[in-house]
Structures are given as structure tokens and as C-alpha cells.
């Protein structure tokens, strides 16, 4: 998995050993740590220069900005989900933290399992708030216990693989292949398998560039290189073109 496909996390923590342990744990879970800042000004510099999808911030840090003031400066640049990591539990600190609308507030010493859950919920809720589609992203099957989830924000999908959401640019999708209740999302470099039917994905996601060509396949119309009455090709892959979907497939060309 490339760094571009992973969730990018900025750690703001002035305890060096703790910060490195946290970074190692996150990297082992498949996240990408863009940097560790031990003060607010360094955090702002990293935030301005790097892509950041989520911030983990201790409240008590070195420098003239504490963690809460640091988060205020970061979110003034652009909206971002934030998780506070802190040993402080007094009411005054909590009230100040709430003013920055954090995604979560995790007490130290934290448990890795709890932090994983907090990160997952932070990404999920932030994506729901910013997705422009009429229907907000939801778990794959209502009430299901399956761990996989697919979410959408603008022209990107977040597909849950193991403990983290993997970011996929919709333009990088080649095709989708269904196998009963599972669907494989295929890019040039990787395949992502999620527990959701092909129909479920197409109905719930706002993906106008994807067109269904068969009960088991949908393709990114921009990636089609050739086609005839029975099949089409994407790269070296030949896919069946069903009669029942052929008319819709041809009509899509009028929109691009």
C-alpha cells in the first residue's frame, strides 16, 4: 500500500518516547504518520506543508500554545478531525477542548484498541459531515456486524481494510467485480474486497463515472479502451458486456 492510499495522521506530542511508540503503533496498523510535533508552531508548519487527514494532539505540550490553542490554529487553516490525548480531566480543560469540536477525547494512558476505535469513528463522522451526496455514508449493511465500511467524500472513497480506512481516488478505479455479497474494487495497483453487493455500492455512492455492464461488473467509463457487442477491454482485461446493460453503457458516452 502506498502512502497516498493511507490515512495521513499528524501527532502533536512532546513526550518523545510516547510519541515514537504511538507513531510505530499507527504505522503498524497501516496509517501514515506525516510527522511528530512537540509544540504548536511546529505542528502548524507541518500541517501547512503536508497532507493531513487527522490530528492526534496532547493538550499539555511545550511552547506558547497548548494543545487546544494549537488545534484552533490548525482548524482555522482547514477543517480536520481532531482527537485529544491527555491526562487532564478537569472540567475547565474539557470545556475549552469542547469549543474546538474534537472528534474524541482519549485519556492517558490510552489503550490502543480504544484509540483505534476513536480514529475510525473520527474519520467516519467527518466524512459524513462533508459528503455532498443526498444520502450520508452508512455502514455496508444496516445492522450487519461486518467490519468493512465504504464511505465517500467528494471524488474519493474510504474503504475499510482491517483497522484503517484506505483512501481511493475514484478516477483510479478500473472496474468493480461482484461475487455474491462481496465486491472487489480494482485499481491498476491493488484490489480491495469489501462485504457489499455491487448494486449496494452503485446505489449508495455518488459515482457517475461508473457504469454497470453486467450483473457482476461495473466499469469506470474513462478507462474503457475498446468494446464490441459482447465485451469491452480495460488494459489487458476483457470484461463481458451484457445485452441488458448495453444501452445504458452506450448512453453514458453522451455525458462525457
pTM of the model: 0.56
Number of helices and strands in the chain (H, E): 7, 16
Average pLDDT over residues 4-22: 90
What is the average pLDDT across 46-65? Answer: 93
Is the pLDDT at 211 greater than 90? The verdict is yes
CA atoms of 185 and 176, how far apart (whole Å): 5
CA angle 150, 145, 203 (to 5 degrees): 35
For residues 1 and 141, the model is more confident at: 1
Q: What is the mean pLDDT of residues 1-18?
A: 84
What letter would DSSP give residue 229? S
Rounded Cα–Cα distance for residues 235 and 232 (Å): 10
pLDDT at 34: 95
Q: Do 3-130 and 150-255 agree at the fold level?
A: no
Query: Which CA distances in Å does 77 have to 36, 47, 74?
Result: 19, 9, 5
Q: What residue segments make up the domains of the chain, in order of their start?
A: 3-130, 150-255
Strand blocks (E) in 124-187 = 150-153, 156-161, 164-169, 173-179, 182-187
Q: Which residue has the higher pLDDT, 125 or 177?
A: 177
- pLDDT tens for 162-209 read 667 888 999 999 999 998 888 999 999 888 888 888 998 888 888 889
CA atoms of 157 and 204, how far apart (whole Å): 12
What are the φ/ψ torsions at residue 96 (nearest 5 degrees)?
-65, -40
Are residues 60 and 97 in contact, defined by beta-carbon separation less than 8 angstroms?
no
- The confidence score (pLDDT) of residue 12 equals 97
Query: Does residue 56 carry a pLDDT above 90?
Result: yes
* Neighbouring C-alpha atoms within 13 Å toward the C-beta of 47: 28
Pairwise pLDDT comparison (46 vs 130), residue with the higher score: 46
**Looking at domain 3-130, does it have CATH number 3.40.50.2300?**
yes
Q: What is the CATH number assigned to the segment(s) 150-255?
A: 2.40.50.1020
Question: Averaging pLDDT over each range in 62-76, 81-95, 148-162, 185-199, which range is the top one?
Answer: 62-76
Confidence of residue 73 (pLDDT cuts 50, 70, 90): very high
Higher confidence at residue 222 or residue 94?
A: 222
Q: How far apart are CA 7 and CA 119, in angstroms?
A: 10
List the Cα angle 144/148/153 in 5-degree steps. Answer: 110
Amino acid at each position: 500500500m502506498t502512502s497516498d492510499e493511507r490515512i495521513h495522521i499528524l501527532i502533536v506530542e512532546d513526550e518523545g518516547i510516547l510519541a515514537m511508540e504511538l507513531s510505530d503503533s499507527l504505522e503498524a496498523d497501516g496509517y501514515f504518520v506525516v510527522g511528530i510535533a512537540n509544540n504548536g508552531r511546529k505542528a502548524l508548519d507541518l500541517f501547512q506543508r503536508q497532507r493531513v487527514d487527522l490530528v492526534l494532539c496532547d493538550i499539555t505540550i511545550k511552547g506558547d500554545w497548548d494543545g487546544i490553542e494549537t488545534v484552533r490554529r490548525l482548524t482555522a487553516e482547514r477543517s480536520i478531525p481532531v482527537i485529544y490525548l491527555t491526562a487532564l480531566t478537569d472540567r475547565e480543560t474539557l470545556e475549552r477542548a469542547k469549543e474546538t469540536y474534537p472528534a474524541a477525547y482519549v485519556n492517558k494512558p490510552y489503550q490502543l484498541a480504544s484509540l483505534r476505535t476513536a480514529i475510525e469513528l473520527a474519520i467516519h463522522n467527518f466524512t459524513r459531515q462533508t459528503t455532498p451526496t443526498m444520502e450520508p455514508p452508512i455502514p455496508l449493511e444496516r445492522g450487519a456486524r461486518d467490519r468493512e465500511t465504504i464511505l465517500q467524500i467528494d471524488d474519493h472513497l474510504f474503504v475499510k481494510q482491517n483497522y484503517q480506512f484506505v483512501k481511493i481516488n475514484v478516477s483510479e478505479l478500473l472496474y468493480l467485480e461482484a461475487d455474491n455479497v462481496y465486491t472487489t474494487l480494482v485499481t491498476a495497483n491493488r484490489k480491495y474486497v469489501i462485504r457489499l453487493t455491487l448494486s449496494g455500492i452503485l446505489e449508495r455512492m455518488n459515482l457517475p463515472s461508473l457504469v454497470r455492464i453486467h450483473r457482476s461488473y461495473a466499469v469506470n467509463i474513462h478507462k474503457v479502451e475498446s468494446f464490441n457487442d459482447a465485451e469491452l477491454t480495460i488494459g489487458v482485461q476483457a470484461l463481458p458486456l451484457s445485452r441488458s446493460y448495453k444501452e445504458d453503457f452506450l448512453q453514458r458516452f453522451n455525458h462525457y
